[in-house]
Amino acid sequence: MASTYPELYKALLQALIQARKDAGITQVELATRIGRRQTFVSKYETEERRLDVAEYIAIAKAIDVEPYALIRAAEAVS
């Protein structure tokens, strides 16, 4: 199913990826923190799979960023 708001999703995803990189956390380290494999991180970062809200919140917390701050930032861009 295609997203109704693809620009907003892409902006949110880019904010999440940038936050991970800014924190100096690798895909492997993030995967370990959330109890998943590195391929999970790679697949959502390359848009091969979509994140649900619960996954998004867990990832944001694992990289020590406030989930709602990233949402607000993504809204401002899209």
Q: Reply yes or no on whether the pLDDT at 1 is more than 60.
A: no
Residue 36 lies in a domain: yes
Long-range contacts, 39-47 (Cβ 8 Å, 24+) = 44/13, 45/13, 45/17, 47/10, 47/13
pLDDT tens figures, 29-58 = 999 999 999 999 999 999 999 999 999 999
Residue 67 lies in a domain: yes
The CATH number for 45's domain is 1.10.260.40
Question: How confident is residue 21, by pLDDT bands cut at 50, 70 and 90?
Answer: very high
Question: Which tokens hold the place of 9?
Answer: 């999703």
DSSP secondary structure letters along 7-62: HHHHHHHHHHHHHHHHTT--HHHHHHHHTS-HHHHHHHHTTSSPPPHHHHHHHHHH
* pLDDT value of position 4: 78
Q: Reply yes or no on whether the pLDDT at 14 is more than 90.
A: yes
Q: How far apart are CA 18 and CA 35, in angstroms?
A: 21
> What's the domain range around 59?
22-77
- pTM score, two decimals? 0.90
